[in-house]
C-alpha cells in the first residue's frame, strides 16, 4: 500500500523525510492550500503530483514543466475528452518533460454510479475516490467505503476523503475486503494538519507506523 500526502504548502521538505510515495501540491487558487512557491529538492523516489480543478490545459502544462511534476490530479469536472487531450500532450514527441501520469478524481457521498468510469478507462492512469463536499477536496469527511465492493474496474485507485488517525482500524478492515483489491494508495490531507497546508509530522509518523506504509 502506497501513501500520498496532499495539500503541501508550508513544510514539504519535513514531510518528505517520512518518505511517502507521493506529495500533492494544489494549484487551485481558491484553496487555502494553494501552492505558489518553490519546491525544495525532494528524494527522487517521491513523486510530485499537481492538483488541478477545471484548469486550462496550458495552465496544467506550465505547472508540469515549472515544477517537474510526475503526475497530475484532476479534481474538477474534467471530461474524458479533456483527459485524452492531456494524455496526448504529455505523450507527444515534442513534449519536453518526462511522461506524466494522470489521476481522475470522483466524489462519493451516499452512492455512486460506477458506469461513469467507463469513459475514463483509457484516458487516465488512476482513479481517486474522495468524499463529496462543499469543496473539491479537503472537506475532512470519510465516505462509506463499502460502496467500493461494487468497483467494476481493474484500474488502480487512490482512497481519499477525511482519512485520519482515527480511521486506522477501519482501514485495516477495509484492506481485508474485496473492494480494496485495486486500492493502490491512501491519500491523506486535512486530518494531519495543524492549519491548512501545515502538516503534523508526529501524527503522520504514527499513521505510517500503524499501517506499515
CATH number, position 33 = 3.20.20.70
The residue segments making up the domain with residue 10 are 2-211
pLDDT at 98: 79
HSE (side-chain half, CA atoms, 13 Å) at 68: 8
pLDDT at 135: 61
pLDDT at 141: 75
pLDDT at 103: 98
Model pLDDT for residues 125-142, shown as the tens digit of each residue: 999 999 986 666 555 679
How many domains, the chain?
1
Which CB contacts under 8 angstroms, 24+ apart, belong to 204-210? 204/5, 204/15, 204/18, 205/18, 206/165, 207/164, 207/165, 207/168, 208/3, 208/18, 210/165, 210/168
pLDDT at 132: 80
Model pLDDT for residues 80-118, shown as the tens digit of each residue: 999 999 998 887 777 777 789 999 999 998 889 999 999
pLDDT at 163: 97
* Residues in the chain where the model's pLDDT stays below 70: 133-140
pLDDT at 138: 52
Which CB contacts under 8 angstroms, 24+ apart, belong to 42-48? 42/12, 42/13, 42/16, 43/16, 43/19, 45/19, 45/21, 46/16, 46/19, 46/20, 46/21, 46/22, 47/21, 47/22, 47/23, 47/71, 48/22, 48/23
Amino acid at each position: 500500500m502506497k501513501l500520498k500526502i496532499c495539500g503541501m504548502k508550508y513544510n514539504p521538505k519535513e514531510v518528505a523525510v517520512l518518505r511517502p510515495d507521493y506529495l500533492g501540491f494544489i494549484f487551485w487558487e481558491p484553496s487555502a492550500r494553494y501552492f505558489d512557491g518553490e519546491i525544495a529538492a525532494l528524494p527522487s523516489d517521491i513523486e510530485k503530483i499537481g492538483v488541478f480543478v477545471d484548469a486550462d490545459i496550458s495552465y496544467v502544462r506550465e505547472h508540469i514543466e515549472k515544477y517537474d511534476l510526475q503526475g497530475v490530479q484532476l479534481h474538477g469536472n474534467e471530461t474524458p475528452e479533456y483527459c485524452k487531450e492531456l494524455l496526448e500532450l504529455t505523450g507527444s514527441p515534442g513534449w519536453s518533460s518526462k511522461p506524466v501520469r494522470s489521476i481522475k478524481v470522483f466524489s462519493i457521498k451516499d452512492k455512486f454510479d460506477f458506469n461513469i468510469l467507463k469513459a475514463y478507462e483509457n484516458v487516465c492512469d488512476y482513479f481517486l475516490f474522495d468524499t463529496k463536499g462543499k469543496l473539491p477536496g479537503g472537506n475532512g469527511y470519510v465516505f462509506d467505503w463499502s460502496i467500493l465492493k461494487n468497483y467494476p474496474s481493474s484500474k488502480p485507485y487512490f482512497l481519499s476523503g477525511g482519512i485520519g488517525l482515527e480511521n486506522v482500524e477501519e482501514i485495516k478492515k477495509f484492506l481485508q475486503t474485496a473492494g480494496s483489491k485495486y486500492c493502490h494508495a491512501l491519500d491523506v490531507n486535512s486530518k494531519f494538519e495543524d492549519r491548512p497546508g501545515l502538516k503534523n509530522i508526529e501524527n503522520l509518523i504514527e499513521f505510517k507506523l500503524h499501517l506499515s506504509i
